[in-house]
Amino acid sequence: MAMTDPLGDMLTRIRNGQRAKKDSVVSPSSKLRAHVLDVLQREGYIRGYSDENIGSRSQHKGLRIELKYFEGEPAIQHVARVSKPGRRVYSGSQEIPVVRNGLGINIVSTPRGVLSDAEARENNVGGEILAEVF
């Protein structure tokens, strides 16, 4: 059966991995997922990620995501998909919502690439709000 929300699947793997105190999790690879992980790494929510072959015959590409903890607590307290396949959410550059009074971030897909909400406001571009993280 085909996966209807690959990005939501990756965010769920990260959430479940941190609840289980895992060092890393593996997710199937795609360009969008890699760009979202770039934003999470720039903002300090994950240690990093790397490409990896998954499967018994190494025919599928995957992403190994290195999770980050601070004093035993996960760096990501909350991660949620905002724009879903059944209901897309778009916002202009000045209307992008602030997460937890600026303590969290929104991940936004813009014409200039996948950016955090602060980067999108700085570049004066809006787009689809993919997820919120704090």
- 30 neighbors 6 (Cβ within 8 angstroms): yes
What percent of the chain has a predicted confidence (pLDDT) above 90? 92
Could you give the C-alpha distances from 37 to 22, 31, 43, 87, in angstroms and in order?
A: 17, 10, 10, 23
Mean per-residue pLDDT over the chain, rounded? 95
Looking at residue 100, the DSSP 8-state letter turns out to be: G
Supply the pLDDT for residue 73.
95
Q: Over 90: is that where the pLDDT of 2 sits?
A: no
Supply the pLDDT for residue 77.
96
Q: State pLDDT tens for residues 88-126.
A: 999 999 999 999 999 999 999 999 999 999 999 999 999
Measured distance CA(79)–CA(134) in Å, rounded? 7
How large is the average pLDDT for residues 20-32?
Answer: 96
What percent of the chain has a predicted confidence (pLDDT) above 70? 98
Supply the pLDDT for residue 3.
82
**Angle at 72 (CA atoms; ends 70, 78), nearest 5 degrees:** 70
Q: State pLDDT tens for residues 71-86.
A: 999 999 999 999 999 9
Q: State pLDDT tens for residues 45-73.
A: 999 999 998 877 767 899 999 999 999 99
Q: Over 60: is that where the pLDDT of 1 sits?
A: no
Supply the pLDDT for residue 58.
67
